[in-house]
Structure 1
Amino acid sequence: MGNWEHKERYAGLPVFRFDQDRLDPDRAAGLADPPAAGAAAWCVSTWFDDPPFEDVWDLFRASVDTTEVTALLVGNWCAEYRDPDIYPVRRLVAAADAFPKLESLFFGEITAREVEISWIAHGDVSPIFRAFPGLRRFEIRGSDGLTLEPIESDALRVLRFESGGLPGEVARAVAASDLPNLEHLDLWLGDENYGGSVTMDDLDAVLTGERFPSLRHLGLMNAGGQDLIAEALASAPVVARLESLSLAMGTLTDAGAEALLSGQPLTHLRKLDLRHHFLSEQMTERVRAALPGVDVDLGDRQEPEDDDWFYVEVAE
């Protein structure tokens, strides 16, 4: 997890990076030849506004048989600049007919070395779902300025939001979505200092299990209020039908872990991910002992700074 390294594989395919170097004949001469269109997940990106993302995007479309592309990653588009003219949604939607087999899309595959996650400037991504009704997997990184309307899709199986601070309006849109076949949902809730404004009320429809009858994995992660999340999950109806649950990357303390252990049984889970936590050694042993048949990840134990400052893994 985290956002420090580019993905090497996505949607079961090796990632092939198609970036600004392809526009420079001297640099392009030394680059690997592109694979067959359907044999890779294609990441299209640029570092700076010269060349602009649109030039790389146009060359990608001219060079690759996009009718065979099943997995696409939109990388850096000079994403720290809030400029609607360079925001890739419009170009992606306009090209929808050229991607009839697209099933998996990662929007904002940008590392912290390029742009900090809280600086990735977004807009409305709702048109993507209307333009690509066959998407089975959608993931997005960054949430500054992000807006979303409730989604309606029979195809979508995986939905993930990676952020240092998720707006409550986005969480409410997700909770109001009609996704009968959604199996995997991850929300990085983040820190209020970086735009995180999700409340427990915003998540109510997710926790009751009303909206997503096929859900088998739930991640409510990277949360400044991870103990509150744990307390809610202790009695949330959705938990009984999950196969895996993640409260990783956040500020989970002994109080949250105590709530989990005192709540409904978790022994039916295959995996419980609590990585990056603030549990005492005694509590980590209690959790392991209480869930002997569950793959529990209790790695990356943290110590609060100045004895009372607990921090999420990914914020700025």
Structure 2
Amino acid sequence: MNSSACNHVLYADDHGPYAELHLTLECSRTGIAISHDINEDHCAAALDGWLHANPERILLKLLVTTRRVHHGSFGPVVDVLASHQPEIRHLGLGALTFPDFGRGDYIPQDLSRDGSSWRLSVPLERVLAAVPTLHELVVQCNDIDIVHDILGTKPPPPFPEMTRLRRLVLRDEALNPAVVSALGTSSFPQLESLELWLGHFEYSWGGSARDLAPLLNNRGFGKLRELALVSDLKDTLVDVLAESALIARLESLRLPFGVLDASGALRLRDRWSAFSNLRRLDVTGNGIPAAAARALREAAPGVVDLGDQRIRVNDEPRFAPPLVELFQQH
């Protein structure tokens, strides 16, 4: 592909029946690899041009990312995908690294603007409707958008059924409970791995672990074997998981970089009979002190992965997960 004609292309391998494509929301300029200027409409036009030129190719991987300025909307890109309905196996949308939404080296003309107020938005249900052939979807942003009743008078509708999706990763700074609710009524019959960064779910939305109950008891995820939850939820999360229908089918449960402390660890130990089918329980990066960590490890030697705990003297664990890259797996 001639990148000079399309300045949002970072990488294109479009030889043969299969292809890989990486676009960026930022604009390139002469002598500069990537500028700080977001132009989502121009990026969407670049994708539209590529899809017109390659109508028969299967996209093994499509990435549309941003790296320096974490703001913008993926709506125009999704509109293009909806119009072409390409076959895509692996799709990644959002920030290249997450949850790094700082201003970085960008200096806006209006210095009063706070970088933390910028929004990077992905319309999730429209993405799923546009690319029903996906095997893997990874989203990293701070506004996973969904059409729902903002007054809360009726629940959001389920997402479109994804009959081929095997891995779903939604990483948000504070995931809207409406997204969790929609997942609780959706059907992804081939889904094997689900990773949800609920983020500041309790702090930002007033969400609770009980909001996860429909999802954790959803029969539409019959093949789900790996679950990861990264959140500011505390002990009640253990109870909701222990009482769910899903826990008996899971092989791997990850609760990393959260705020579980001694109380949460001991509750896991006391309710271990519900978790006994697990081959791996990962609680790396929480705030579990040594004595409680030993007690939990003794409940299931070889299963519990404690990793490094973030212990703060005379302070509760603080929710501050480390940066991850798009498509990074643990």
Confirm or deny a common fold (TM above 0.5): yes
AA aligned to 2:240 is A
8 Å Cα contact 1:164/1:315 also seen in 2: no
AA aligned to 1:179 is F
Matched, 1:55 2:42: yes
1:69 is aligned, of 45, 52, 59, to: 59
Structure whose residues are more often strand by fraction: 2
Inter-partner Cα distance in structure 1 for 2:316 and 2:23: 39
Equivalent residue runs for 1:1-316 within 5 Å = 23=7, 34=13, 36=15, 41-47=20-26, 48=35, 50=37, 52-59=39-46, 62=49, 65=54, 67-76=57-66, 80-81=70-71, 87-96=73-82, 98=84, 100-111=86-97, 115-116=101-102, 119-122=118-121, 124-144=123-143, 146-147=145-146, 149-151=157-159, 152-192=161-201, 195-221=204-230, 223-263=231-271, 264-294=273-303, 296-304=304-312, 307-314=314-321
Inter-partner Cα distance in structure 1 for 2:267 and 2:96: 36
AA aligned to 1:256 is G
8 Å Cα contact 2:74/2:122 also seen in 1: no
Partner SS for 2:266: helix
> By how many angstroms is 1:20 displaced?
9.6
Deviation string 1:79-107 (CA, Å, 9 cap, x unpaired) is 6446xxxx223333324565633022122
Deviation string 1:62-81 (CA, Å, 9 cap, x unpaired) is 46847231211220188644
8 Å Cα contact 2:74/2:121 also seen in 1: no
Inter-partner Cα distance in structure 2 for 1:34 and 1:268: 43
Inter-partner Cα distance in structure 2 for 1:314 and 1:113: 8
Inter-partner Cα distance in structure 1 for 2:214 and 2:14: 43
Partner SS for 2:195: strand
> By how many angstroms is 1:271 displaced?
1.6
Deviation string 1:107-153 (CA, Å, 9 cap, x unpaired) is 21332597349844315321121121111222211233622552122
> By how many angstroms is 1:266 displaced?
2.9
Q: Calculate percent identity across the aligned residue pairs.
A: 25
> By how many angstroms is 1:41 displaced?
4.7
Classify 1:51/1:37 alpha carbon distance in 2 versus 1 (closer, same or farther; 3 Å): farther
Classify 1:196/1:190 alpha carbon distance in 2 versus 1 (closer, same or farther; 3 Å): farther
With normalisation by structure 2, the TM-score equals 0.73
> By how many angstroms is 1:164 displaced?
1.8
**Unaligned regions of 5+ residues in structure 1, if any?**
1-17
With normalisation by structure 1, the TM-score equals 0.76
Inter-partner Cα distance in structure 1 for 2:21 and 2:62: 5
AA aligned to 2:126 is P
**Unaligned regions of 5+ residues in structure 2, if any?**
27-34, 103-115, 148-156, 324-330
AA aligned to 1:247 is L
Inter-partner Cα distance in structure 1 for 2:22 and 2:61: 9
Inter-partner Cα distance in structure 2 for 1:20 and 1:229: 51
Inter-partner Cα distance in structure 2 for 1:62 and 1:35: 13
Inter-partner Cα distance in structure 2 for 1:56 and 1:133: 22
8 Å Cα contact 1:77/1:88 also seen in 2: no
CA RMSD of the aligned region, Å?
3.5
Deviation string 1:199-222 (CA, Å, 9 cap, x unpaired) is 23321112234342221111222x
> By how many angstroms is 1:34 displaced?
4.7
Partner SS for 1:302: coil
Inter-partner Cα distance in structure 2 for 1:277 and 1:20: 47
> By how many angstroms is 1:43 displaced?
2.7
